[in-house]
Structure formats: structure tokens, C-alpha cells
Amino acid sequence: MEDSIEMILQEHRGSYTSRHHPILSVCTGALFTGLYSVWSLFVLPGFRKVPLNLKVPYLPSSKDQTLNTMKLLEGRAGRLADLGSGDGRLVFAASSAGFKCTGFEINSILLAYARSKASWTGVPSRQATFVNKDFWKTDLSSYNNVIAFLAPGVMGVLGEKLLKELPDDARVIACRFPFPDWPLQSSVGSGLDETFAYDISRVRSHLRQEPNPVR
């Protein structure tokens, strides 16, 4: 009897140790801790105040996407806003093409990185400034060039904001996710790197003719 109880206990210990192997537990724990740290460092800061339906996570533009964006800005000049500037890569590309750029970013870690990169690469603040501001709460009427690499779900709301605020001669570049009801000026690239250009004067006159597009 005692022998069989001991056997059952041993079996139980065996299955317990094989299901909860110490190295496996440590690795799983480390993986979750790592993922949580990355998530909280790069996604969480500054996000709590933004409404859930307007939250956009960090995802950097690819090299091609950056080149496509710059192609659609050829021949233009003046002030440029990058709505959610991340590590600053689009701002740096645009400032080296002569634009006076502002990167709006609510993630303080990305903001600190972009600011440090500007200072170690010698980009003057009149060419590139990074501000810790929620662009939804910012008046963008002083910008005649706007870049947005955000998320499909926010493009409709963003379109309404930009139409209210931007001057008639403004151009808006949407990376990867187009505006749902706006007439396209041109686009460059394909797939995930496709980038779309819209001229505000054209969008306004199109929407005057078709004020209530069917979705």
C-alpha cells in the first residue's frame, strides 16, 4: 500500500517537474518581463490621456517609406509637422531637405532620443524641434506641410481636424494609411511602404461638391 502511494507521489512529482521546469519558468518569466518593459517604455508613456479610439502605438517608418515621403514633398518648402514623430527619422529627413520641422510626440522616451540625436548630429533647433505635445490638442494652422504615419482607425477624425485648421496651400502626406474620403493627389511606393499625398485646396473643393460621402 505504502509502496503504491509512494509511486503515485513520485509520478505526481515527475509530472509536476516536467510541466514546471525551472529553466522554462525562468525563461518565460524573463520573456514576459522583457516584453512588459519594452511595452511600458515605448508604448505607455504619455498614452493614458489620449482617448482609447485615438491611441496610436509606435512603429518606425521603413527606409522606403521615408524616401517615398520625401519624394511627395519635392518642390515644397516651409513649415512641416510630423504628427507623432517617434524617434524623429521623418523630421530629420525633412529638415535635411530644408523644411522647418516640428515633431509632435507624447512618448517621452522617444522624444528624449530624438532630441539627443538632434543635438549629437548638430541639427539646429530652427530646423528641427521636438515637442512633448498631443497633436490632437494642438492648432496646426501654421503648418503648410504635414506628415502622418498613424493608424487606419484615426485617419477619418484626423482628416476633419486638418480640414478645419490647415491653410489652403497645405500638403498632407499619409504614410501607409490613406484618408478615407479625400481625393488623392499622388502616391508613391506599394504595399506597406505606400505613401499618399493630398493637397488641401483640392480636398476642400472635392468635398464641397460631395459633402456627405457614403462610407
Ligand X SMILES: C[S@@+](CC[C@H](N)C(=O)[O-])C[C@H]1O[C@@H](n2cnc3c(N)ncnc32)[C@H](O)[C@@H]1O
Interaction site with ligand X (CB under 6 A): 50, 56, 58-61, 82, 84-86, 89-90, 104-107, 110, 134-136, 149-150
Find out whether 172 and 97 touch, Cβ atoms under 8 Å: no
For ligand X, the closer CB: 105 or 199: 105
Task: Tell me the residue nearest to ligand X as measured from the CB.
Answer: 84
Smallest distance, ligand X to C-beta of residue 85, A? 5
Smallest distance, ligand X to C-beta of residue 58, A? 4
Distances (CA, A) of 42 to 38, 118, 158: 6, 19, 23
Smallest distance, ligand X to C-beta of residue 190, A? 18
Smallest distance, ligand X to C-beta of residue 215, A? 23
For ligand X, the closer CB: 27 or 41: 41
Smallest distance, ligand X to C-beta of residue 137, A? 8
For ligand X, the closer CB: 4 or 190: 190
For ligand X, the closer CB: 165 or 202: 165
For ligand X, the closer CB: 62 or 185: 62
Order of strands across the sheet with 79-83?
128-131, 100-104, 79-83, 145-148, 171-175, 195-199, 186-188
Q: What angle do CA 134, 135, 137 make, to 5 degrees?
A: 75
For ligand X, the closer CB: 71 or 202: 71
Distance CA 202, CA 171 (A): 10
Distance CA 5, CA 107 (A): 59
Nearest to 66 by CA among 43, 42, 84, 92: 92
Smallest distance, ligand X to C-beta of residue 98, A? 19
Report the DSSP beta bridge partners of residue 83. 104, 148
